[in-house]
């Protein structure tokens, strides 16, 4: 018998649609705790979402409503499009329709959870994985227990947003960690259910419809571990997901992959921070896939097309062989740069040491090519110290790799708890701006304050998304060593136009078919901005599946067919 109804809402309206994996995770845990769980997915109700909500709450009375925030914005420096305004509109309507308390979570939410609990005006929030915390909260609400007894829970109180501290935590090698009030840079393994095989459904009412997402988005998702032990200066994940690897049981992961494949979801992409960090565990997952494929030729895993995120190292011959044997079609590698002076202090371990060099990227591309695996190599320009010379060196080296596709991005979105975001706030110190800080909607110099000079974490986090008037002002950074148009000071979005032009000029036009380049316009068929990208939406409309970059070299032909309204006869990766 159900202990009560919990409603989970996906407010994400971005297309091509990405399945809200987090809601499958939460559903699995809540159902195991004997709660009834329903999902309202607004991704496929972009226009009629208000009536969709109203109809639901006319018939249902949940005891708790959970809302997932996958992304706060596009994280694309040339577009700077926030999503949280739309999310607030949806949450406000939910609160109008029900008296049930609302809890927020998700990876985007976890980048600034105190500010978003306050901005959304919701009761609770979770930083990091939420499956254990939401079950504990649901139990507290059901039994009348004080929610202040739920470890890790953010609560919206009369004194502001506060976090219930967890017990003393244990980091790697058994080192005790005293929790901070903000919960920043904690090991969050205790928040993860590492043994459960998350239940993935298709076609069930009021659940995530994974097959529909696959048919309309081209990929399924799979998680093998949570968190990251590394400390790259621009990355949110060690703080938002946790500083230790919360590895899932190998059998549970592969059971889930097999279930998805049996439902017809054959292209599956890892959602780990990076699949090959903690490479021993990754190899064991691949070995189990291979074992099941060999043991039963009728196993749906024999049709698996796997796509993975990786770092250049560790990546050895055995790993490449296992990837190929498991059915891996493509590796997306975040090399980011080639110059050692750029990577130093940027792509680093928790101890601050660089963990790869360009030779590792060269070896990865070579190994993948040998085993018939496609590669996308990505560079990120604009970090402190970037100049036309460093950019030129990187472009030349990356293009010489002859990867399937090379992606170049320019500019960085800053978040509160990335090492770079914290360093910029400390350098501003609340009294000065820093050359390179930029926002398309800023009405004056951007002056950040460090956490110690703020009234609390909500104020500190808020300044990375809003200005002092409460208007959106997403903070980005472009190295002041890059060429800029000083005459475009009144049009911040055009200020870095000369750097974009330089980047295009550095690439031989004969190679444009195998490279992604930034565009000032934001969402364009020529760039790698995901949200509502015309190439991507057209691609899935024609029936293509797999990582979108794997079709990039045929972009012109595909765009012609999109414009002609053609349909794919047979399109898979």
pLDDT at 117 over 60: yes
Phi, psi values for residue 258, rounded to 5°: -65, -40
User: How crowded is the C-beta side of 47, counted as CA atoms within 13 Å?
Assistant: 0
The pLDDT of 420-433, averaged and rounded, is 98
Of 26-40, 161-175, 425-439, 464-478, least confident by mean pLDDT is: 161-175
Say yes or no to pLDDT of 573 above 70.
no
Identify which of 185, 202, 24, 80 has the alpha carbon closest to the alpha carbon of residue 466: 80
Name the pLDDT band for 538 (thresholds 50, 70, 90).
confident
pLDDT of residue 534: 78
Give residue 488's pLDDT: 75
Q: Are 312 and 335 in contact (CB under 8 A)?
A: yes
Q: 3-state class of 408 per DSSP?
A: strand
**What mean pLDDT is predicted for residues 536-544?**
85
**How remote is the C-alpha of 353 from its chain's centroid?**
24
**CB under 8 Å to 216, separation ≥6 — which residues?**
15, 16, 17, 540
Both structure tokens of 246: 């919360």
Distance from C-alpha of 451 to C-alpha of 457, rounded to nearest angstrom: 7
| CA separation, residue 95 to residues 100, 135, 169, 313, 464 (Å) | 8, 21, 35, 47, 26
pLDDT score at 566: 57
Start-to-end CA span in the chain (Å): 44
The rounded distance, in Å, linking the Cα atoms of 183 and 180 is 5
211-223: per-residue pLDDT in tens? 999 999 999 999 9
Whether pLDDT at 140 is above 80: yes
| 523 band by pLDDT with thresholds 50, 70 and 90 | low
Burial degree of 287 (CB within 10 A; 0-12, 13-18, 19+): middle
Please list the alpha-helical segments (H only) found in 371-508.
388-400, 419-428, 457-462, 492-495, 497-506
The yes-or-no verdict on residue 177 having pLDDT over 90 is: no
Residue 249 C-alpha from the chain's centroid: 22
CB 107 within 8 A of CB 18: no
Higher pLDDT: 174 or 46? It is 46
Is pLDDT above 90 for 54?
Answer: yes
Alpha-helix runs per DSSP H in 218-352 = 237-241, 250-262, 279-295, 317-326, 340-343
Q: What is the pLDDT of residues 153-164, one digit of tens each?
A: 999 998 999 999
State residue 569's pLDDT score.
Answer: 44
Output the pLDDT for position 570: 41
CA atoms within 13 A on the CB side of 419: 17
Residue 188 has pLDDT above 50, yes or no: yes
Asked if 210 contacts 200 with a C-beta cutoff of 8 angstroms, the reply is yes
Q: Are strands 102-105 and 64-68 parallel, antiparallel or unpaired?
A: parallel
pLDDT at res. 571: 44
Distance CA 261, CA 266 (A): 5
How far apart CA 308 and CA 320 sit, in angstroms, is 12
| pLDDT tens for each residue of 485-503 | 888 766 777 788 899 999 9
Higher pLDDT: 94 or 169? It is: 94
pLDDT at 526 > cutoff 80: no
- Residue range 559-570, pLDDT digits in tens: 888 788 754 444
pLDDT mean across residues, the chain: 93
pLDDT at 14: 87
The pLDDT value recorded for residue 572 is 46
Q: Token pair 């796997």 is at which residue? A: 306
User: Helix, strand, or coil here: 128?
Assistant: coil
d(CA 97, CA 94): 5
pLDDT for the residue 519: 85
């Amino acid at each position: 018998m159900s202990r009560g109804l919990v409603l989970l809402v996906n407010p994400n309206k971005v297309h091509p649609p990405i399945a809200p994996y987090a809601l499958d995770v939460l559903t699995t845990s809540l159902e195991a705790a004997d709660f009834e769980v329903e999902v309202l997915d607004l991704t496929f109700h972009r226009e009629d979402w208000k009536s969709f909500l109203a109809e639901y709450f006319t018939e249902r009375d949940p005891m708790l409503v959970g809302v997932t925030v996958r992304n706060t914005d596009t994280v694309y420096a040339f577009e700077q499009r926030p999503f949280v305004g739309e999310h607030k509109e949806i949450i406000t309507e939910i609160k109008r329709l029900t008296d049930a308390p609302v809890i927020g979570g998700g990876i985007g939410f976890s980048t600034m959870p105190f500010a978003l609990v306050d901005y959304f005006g919701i009761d609770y929030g979770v930083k990091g994985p939420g499956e254990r915390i939401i079950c504990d909260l649901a139990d507290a609400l059901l039994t009348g227990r004080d929610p202040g007894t739920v470890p890790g829970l953010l609560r919206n109180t009369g004194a502001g947003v506060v976090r219930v501290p967890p017990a003393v935590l244990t980091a790697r090698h058994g080192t005790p960690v005293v929790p901070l009030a903000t919960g920043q840079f904690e090991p969050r393994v205790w928040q993860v259910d590492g043994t459960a095989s998350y239940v993935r459904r298709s076609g069930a009412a009021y659940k995530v419809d994974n097959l529909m997402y696959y048919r309309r988005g081209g990929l399924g998702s799979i998680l093998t571990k949570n968190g990251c032990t590394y400390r790259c200066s621009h990355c949110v994940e060690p703080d938002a997901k946790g500083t230790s690897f919360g590895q899932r049981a190998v059998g549970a992961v592969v059971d889930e992959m097999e279930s998805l494949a049996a439902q017809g979801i054959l292209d599956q992409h890892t959602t780990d921070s990076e699949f090959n960090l903690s490479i021993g565990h990754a190899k064991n997952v691949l070995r189990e896939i291979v074992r099941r494929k060999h043991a039963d030729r009728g196993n749906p895993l024999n049709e698996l097309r796997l796509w993975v995120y990786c770092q250049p190292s560790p990546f050895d011959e055995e790993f490449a062989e296992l990837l190929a044997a498991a059915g891996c079609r493509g590796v997306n590698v975040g090399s980011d740069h080639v110059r050692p002076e750029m990577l130093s202090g940027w792509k680093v371990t928790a101890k601050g040491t660089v963990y790869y060099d360009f030779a590792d990227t060269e070896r990865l591309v070579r190994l993948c090519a040998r085993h018939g695996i496609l590669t996308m190599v990505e560079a990120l320009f604009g970090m402190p110290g970037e100049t036309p010379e460093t950019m030129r060196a990187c472009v030349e080296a990356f293009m010489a790799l002859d990867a399937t596709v090379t992606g170049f991005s320019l500019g960085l979105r800053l978040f509160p708890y990335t090492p770079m975001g914290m360093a910029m706030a400390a350098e501003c110190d609340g009294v000065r701006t820093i050359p390179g800080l930029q926002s398309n909607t800023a009405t004056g110099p951007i002056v950040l304050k460090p956490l110690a000079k703020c009234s609390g974490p909500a104020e500190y986090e808020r300044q990375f998304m809003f200005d002092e008037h409460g208007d959106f002002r997403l903070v980005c950074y472009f190295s002041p060593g890059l060429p800029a148009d000083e005459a475009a000071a009144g049009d911040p979005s055009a200020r870095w136009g000369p750097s974009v032009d330089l980047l295009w000029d550095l690439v031989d036009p004969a190679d444009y078919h195998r490279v992604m380049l930034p565009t000032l316009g934001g969402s364009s068929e020529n760039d790698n901005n995901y949200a509502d990208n015309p190439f991507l939406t057209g691609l899935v409309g024609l029936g293509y599946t797999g990582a979108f970059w794997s079709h990039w070299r045929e972009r012109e032909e595909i765009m012609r067919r999109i414009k002609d309204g053609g349909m794919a006869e047979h399109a898979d990766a």
